[in-house]
Amino acid sequence: MTVGRFKAIASAAVVLLAGMAEAQVTVQNGVQYATHDGVPLYGDLYLPSSAGPHAAVMFIHGGAWKVGSRSGYASSWGPYLAERGYVVFSIDYRLSTPTTPTWPQALLDCKAALQYLRGSAAALGVDPDRIAVGGDSAGGELSSMLALTQDWPAFANRYPGDAFAAVSTKVEAVIPAYAVFNMAAWWRWTKIGYPTTALEYTSLDELFGGSPSDVPGAYLEASPLEYVRMSATSLGDLALPNDGVDAAWFVTWGMEDPIVPAEEQSIPFVKALRDAGADVTAVGVPNIGHFWFSKSALTGQRGMSPSCTIAPGNFVVCPGATPNDFIAPRLLEFLGNHL
């Protein structure tokens, strides 16, 4: 894709963003990366002012696979990482409804976005061999699935009309935040821990079109934990190779999360990754629960405030250092080491 054509399909704005780097970042909103089943799919790009090629991070928003938007990263990791020399691509994907399941379509959309990012690398100033994926909650599950199914034939060429359908979906690093890694376990949790009117209560039933007893294969197929466990070194010759285990992982969660409890999700996943020989950085964040990865500020302060509150829209407001401030130094170190 030429630079001229790329600019033609995006609305571009250059903004001066505050921060340690005082760097100019180009923000291109509404970049169409694919059309699947008649649905146009968009992402927002955050581009450094310095000459590339740059490492890139693609972020996938959360929202129980049924709500949410790529704009969630507009006031957090998008500009923050672009200021520091990373291209950031924050994407939308198809969301489920009570009558329209979106598995595996949501994953296929994310794969197409990754292919677009790599396929457009020259125009975007991206090093195609230095791409990471990440996301929060549902987006953490999808980013983990991208890493654990990269270039698998079962998920390849499902949309042969995509401009970059033949491009690899390989990634070098993965950044899931308070993600769901075991779908059946989280389905059980939603039936115990939520009123029937809660967003989460029906989220997996809508994503898959049924319960674990109705569509057990879908719940298994969408659970990153199952893929990693099949690669455990303790299995010896029975262990299945998986390129996702060769990627570097930065797994983070809130230590007081009642929505996706780390004890059932992130912590067992980290253990499974280590059992499979993966390179894992695990960061539990004290005094906080859910939502914060895409909905708390980056202020440059150190530590973690003991008294953050949840404001309307699930934004996390802290009188001092935020959860993202808490993880930022380690995440930057991780990216510097692995991209």
Bridge partners for 136 per DSSP: 177
**pLDDT tens readout for residues 264-278:** 999 999 999 999 999
Distance CA(48)–CA(119), nearest Å, equals 19
**E strand segments, 157-267:** 173-177, 248-254
Q: Answer whether the bond into residue 98 is a cis peptide, omega within 30°.
A: no
13 SS3 class = strand
Provide the 10 A C-beta neighbour count for residue 258: 11
Residue that wins the pLDDT comparison between 172 and 1 = 172
Q: What are phi and psi of 166, to 5 degrees?
A: -95, 0
**pLDDT tens readout for residues 39-66:** 999 999 999 999 889 999 999 999 999 9
In contact, 18 and 25? CB cutoff 8 Å: no
Residue type, 231: S
The yes-or-no verdict on residue 205 having pLDDT over 50 is: yes
Mean pLDDT value across the chain = 93
pTM for the whole structure: 0.92
**pLDDT tens readout for residues 65-124:** 999 999 999 999 999 999 999 999 999 999 999 999 999 999 999 999 999 999 999 999
**Which among 111, 78, 95 has a CA at the least distance from the CA of 298?**
78
**Which among 160, 6, 150, 153 has a CA at the least distance from the CA of 89?**
6
pLDDT at 18: 36
Residue type, 2: T
pLDDT at 130: 98
pLDDT at 23: 67
Strand 87-91 and strand 39-48: the pairing is antiparallel
